[in-house]
A and B are shown apart, each in its own frame.
Chain A
Amino acid sequence: MSLVAVEWIESVLIGAVQAGTVFLIASLGEIYAERSGVLNLGMEGMMIVGAAVSFIVTNALGHGYAILAVLLAGLLLGLAHSFLTVSLRLNQIVVGLAITILGLGLGGLLGNAAIRRGIILFLNPEAPERNLIVQEAEKLPDIPIPFLRDIPVLGGMFFRQNGLVYLSLILAIVMWFILFKTRFGLSLRSVGENPAMSDAMGINVFRIRYISMVVCGMLGALAGSYLFIGYQPFWVEGMTQGRGFIALALVILATWNPLRAILGAYLFGGVEALQFRLQVLGVAAQLPQFLLMLPYIVTIATLVLLSLESVRKRIGVPASLGKPYSRE
């Protein structure tokens, strides 16, 4: 194999991690929400709000404040979702789609030149004129990790990335541990399977669902902010392009397990990176289109597998997913 080919493959692999991190962060949040029994179809909306907020706040105050602001925005969206679906027990599908539509609208509004300018000046009256008009923002810096960064291929994939990539991997492991090895995680999973029983056992079902949904909102928004400042720091309205829904599909593929979500995220990220590079090369115009379908085909195949009784018993959809809980 020629050196060019090797480099090309390496670039696809690195691209897979970079593109996949968006899916990973979002799906981690969604896993917690769904494990607790709340289906969050508002993921797409939460992501685009996260992207828009990080676009504005980065240009006003820099990355640190941007991420804080994004987390706050996600927290509010998560609270809104849980208030409507957990406290008021509204239909989760309707509420989720409403939040997605709302988010897309809000993202467009925030991205509007005049409004953006106003907000940036409000946040930081001394913001340089350039920051008020550009369609982009400063990208998160890469933080190469000494020694590890020099490992062939793996170094590029995992040790020469920005902080959010590292954070997403740590989060996946920590969230897996909490979910499966702690009392809180057991309560969370039990609430998603059988809220009435959990309630009788002294678990506060509403609290668990609020917490999970807020975590989901924060991570959804964070995924959007990574998409913008960590991956493609150029603002386009509707720039999430359905990635929120791919993250939902990924949750199914990962069978609600944070560690499996890592693999799935990089697989979906790899598809995105590959189709992008194939497009640049101009090979087989249909191939990229086909690749874009792939995540959904894999997801449908997973769903078919999950429909088998024998599989469902072992790794099933959380039994109370989508069902509001009320005490009799």
Chain B
Amino acid sequence: MESPEKLVEMRSITKRFPGVLANDSASFTLLRGEVHALLGENGAGKTTLMNILYGLYTPDAGEIFVRGRRVQIRGPKDAISLGIGMVHQQFRLIPTHTVAENIIVGARDVGFVLRFGRINERLSELIKYYGWSISPTSKVWQLTAGEKQQVEILKALYRGAEILILDEPTSVLTPQETVVLFQTLRKMASQGLGVVLISHKLDEVMAVSDRVTVMRRGRTIVTKPTRETNQRELAFLMVGRELSELEARPMAAGGKPVLEASGLQILDDKGLLAVKNISLRLFRGEILGVAGVSGNGQEELIEALVGLRKVRAGKILLDGVEMTNRPSADFIREGVAYIPAESLRYTAADMTVAENIILKSYRNRRFSKRIFINWKTVYDEAGKIIKDFNIVTPSPFSKAGNLSGGNIQRLVIARELNLQDNIKVIVAAYPSKGLDVASTEFVQRKLVEAREKGVGIILLSEDLEELFLLSDRIIVMYRGEIVGELPRQQFDLEKVGLMMTGVKGAEVKA
């Protein structure tokens, strides 16, 4: 059998960013007609390698061959003319323009006067071929995330892309949309395109790819046919060691609750009642899991518990002290740590790593005397924390915004956990969302450690496995109310799943 044509061959690509070796002599081959997964943890250099192929970065060393010809790719324009298309994690679409306008923008073959009738017809055919249902005349803002992704893919195909790179395409998709996307990818491969799927999700890689290349610390470790490997091996290759199984020993919780909320009513941003009547008690050394389909009032509840949102009725007591509607600074002073989802929003991206680390604790005597900040202590301490928390950054003086997602989450956790001397409560909202395996494990370990020190933890997560693994108790929220509560002994996937759809705890038992 004749082996398929090599669409892309990247040889010994090295790319250095200030202080970071993003790609270390990485090599990668893409064949015609395959879906090739590029697997690795956050910061392993997957996106950098593909950005080089797409011309967004120029490599410091190495060679690129496209269809056997050595090429210099100086920008996306060059990449596009070589038939390379890339769908980024953040969509690069114009919401106020139509689907058709977004697809043809910059294309040369459409003529000066745009004949939308003809263009739309051609696009509709393409859309139908892939079994999608978007209309070329819809405005992009009307589309779902999955449909926007389809527009991005069409944009590349319209320019004749034969090599399609998708950067973590499923991170914005619902499970159903993911299924559709994977069908599309298979279809494109069967047509002779080469598809690169950047991912850190093992099950995805197993489900859709023909071959997989694993990256770690900027190097390409191995390339294998997917059917000759398994999740466990891939996880090992990706992390470079076996993952330690987290063991959550249930602790005898008891005594006075460290956090107590009663009769809470909370409004959402639109002024509607998001939390209707919630009372809860959190004990020392306990992890209280909050389950629920997102949008059932969990976010509002969490924000109220850390002082970021006013409550309309009800009371919040922290260690017996009334905290209801006090400013968030009081919550910080009283020892409430907050680990949010999308931690980038809770960092000052243009400020340095060190500054971000003390963002909440600069009032602490250790770092400031009257109105002056003692920078020497700050930088010493920051250096220590960067080491302890494994934050990959060129230096404490680098901008926080330049870190990768996993490292920003580590930074936030460091800020929240390490520099408060009197933490009583940790409120963690989706703390491992979007993180790779190792970072997730890191976050979970930190939470368990804190619990063992006697901190009360509220953990909001969409990942039931995570909740089951860590929680001592789980409450389930539905439409602003608690519909059920389960102790650790009674954790059951089906039970919780039913409650998440609104079936009350009592009914489930019956």
Q: Is the CB of B92 within 8 A of A203?
A: no
Say yes or no for B485: interface residue by CB 8 A criterion: no
Of B75, B105, B107, B114, which contacts A182 at CB under 8 A? B114
User: A194 to chain B: which residues have CB within 8 Å?
Assistant: 92, 94
Given A186-B101, A201-B105, A314-B139 in contact, is the A193-B111 Cβ separation under 8 Å? Answer: no
Output the least CB separation between B155 and chain A (Å).
8
Say yes or no for B255: interface residue by CB 8 A criterion: no
Say yes or no for B497: interface residue by CB 8 A criterion: no
CA distance A243 to B97 in the complex (A): 31
Which residues in chain A, 296-318, are within 8 Å of chain B measured between CB atoms? 313-316
Q: Is the CB of A183 within 8 A of B114?
A: yes
User: B76 to chain A: which residues have CB within 8 Å?
Assistant: 199-201
CA distance A197 to B94 in the complex (A): 9
Q: Is the CB of A186 within 8 A of B96?
A: no
User: A197 to chain B: which residues have CB within 8 Å?
Assistant: 92-94
Interface centre among A181, A186, A315, A319 (most CB of B within 10 A): A186
Q: Please tell me the size bucket of the interface on B.
A: 20 to 34
CA distance A197 to B140 in the complex (A): 15
CA distance A41 to B112 in the complex (A): 31
Of B80, B106, B113, which contacts A190 at CB under 8 A? B106
Of A186, A314, A315, which contacts B105 at CB under 8 A? A186
Of B92, B104, B108, which contacts A186 at CB under 8 A? B104
Output the least CB separation between B91 and chain A (Å).
9
Interface centre among B94, B112, B113 (most CB of A within 10 A): B94
Q: Is the CB of B113 within 8 A of A182?
A: yes
Which residues in chain B, 258-306, are within 8 Å of chain A measured between CB atoms? none
Q: Is the CB of B96 within 8 A of A314?
A: yes
CA distance A197 to B90 in the complex (A): 11
Given A182-B114, A202-B80, A314-B139 in contact, is the A187-B96 Cβ separation under 8 Å? Answer: no
Say yes or no for A135: interface residue by CB 8 A criterion: no
Q: Chain B 244-256, CB within 8 Å of chain A: the 1/0 string?
A: 0000000000000
CA distance A186 to B93 in the complex (A): 13
Output the least CB separation between A50 and chain B (Å).
30
Output the least CB separation between B119 and chain A (Å).
11
Q: Please tell me the size bucket of the interface on A.
A: 20 to 34
Say yes or no for B77: interface residue by CB 8 A criterion: yes
User: A313 to chain B: which residues have CB within 8 Å?
Assistant: 95-96, 139, 141
Say yes or no for B508: interface residue by CB 8 A criterion: no
CA distance A312 to B243 in the complex (A): 48
Q: Chain A 168-207, CB within 8 Å of chain B: the 1/0 string?
A: 0000000000000111101101100110111111110000
Output the least CB separation between B82 and chain A (Å).
13
Say yes or no for B110: interface residue by CB 8 A criterion: yes
Q: Is the CB of A187 within 8 A of B106?
A: yes
User: A196 to chain B: which residues have CB within 8 Å?
Assistant: 92
Output the least CB separation between A231 and chain B (Å).
35
User: B75 to chain A: which residues have CB within 8 Å?
Assistant: 200
Q: Is the CB of B92 within 8 A of A182?
A: no
Q: Is the CB of B94 within 8 A of A315?
A: no
CA distance A193 to B93 in the complex (A): 9
CA distance A203 to B101 in the complex (A): 14
Nearest chain-B residue to A327 (Cβ)?
Answer: B75
Output the least CB separation between B89 and chain A (Å).
14
Interface centre among B77, B92, B105 (most CB of A within 10 A): B105
User: B77 to chain A: which residues have CB within 8 Å?
Assistant: 200, 202
Given A198-B105, A201-B105 in contact, is the A183-B110 Cβ separation under 8 Å? Answer: yes
Given A186-B105, A201-B106, A202-B77 in contact, is the A316-B113 Cβ separation under 8 Å? Answer: no
User: B110 to chain A: which residues have CB within 8 Å?
Assistant: 183
Output the least CB separation between A122 and chain B (Å).
42
User: A316 to chain B: which residues have CB within 8 Å?
Assistant: 96
Of A184, A193, A203, which contacts B112 at CB under 8 A? A184
Q: Is the CB of B139 within 8 A of A183?
A: no
Which residues in chain B, 110-152, are within 8 Å of chain A measured between CB atoms? 110-114, 116, 139, 141
CA distance A315 to B139 in the complex (A): 11
CA distance A186 to B99 in the complex (A): 13
Q: Is the CB of B114 within 8 A of A203?
A: no
CA distance A319 to B108 in the complex (A): 24
Output the least CB separation between B88 and chain A (Å).
10
Given A181-B113, A182-B112, A183-B112 in contact, is the A193-B106 Cβ separation under 8 Å? Answer: no
User: B108 to chain A: which residues have CB within 8 Å?
Assistant: 202
Q: Is the CB of B92 within 8 A of A200?
A: yes
CA distance A314 to B76 in the complex (A): 29
CA distance A103 to B483 in the complex (A): 69
Output the least CB separation between A201 and chain B (Å).
3
Of B80, B94, B104, B107, which contacts A193 at CB under 8 A? B94
Nearest chain-A residue to B81 (Cβ)?
Answer: A202
Q: Is the CB of A186 within 8 A of B114?
A: yes
Which residues in chain B, 217-250, are within 8 Å of chain A measured between CB atoms? none
User: A190 to chain B: which residues have CB within 8 Å?
Assistant: 94, 97, 101, 105-106
List 8 A-B pairs, minimum CB-CB distance, nearest first. Answer: A201-B106, A200-B76, A197-B92, A193-B94, A313-B141, A202-B106, A190-B105, A203-B106
A-B residue pairs in contact (CB < 8 Å), sample of 13: A181-B116, A182-B114, A183-B113, A186-B114, A189-B97, A190-B94, A190-B106, A200-B75, A200-B76, A201-B80, A201-B105, A202-B80, A314-B141
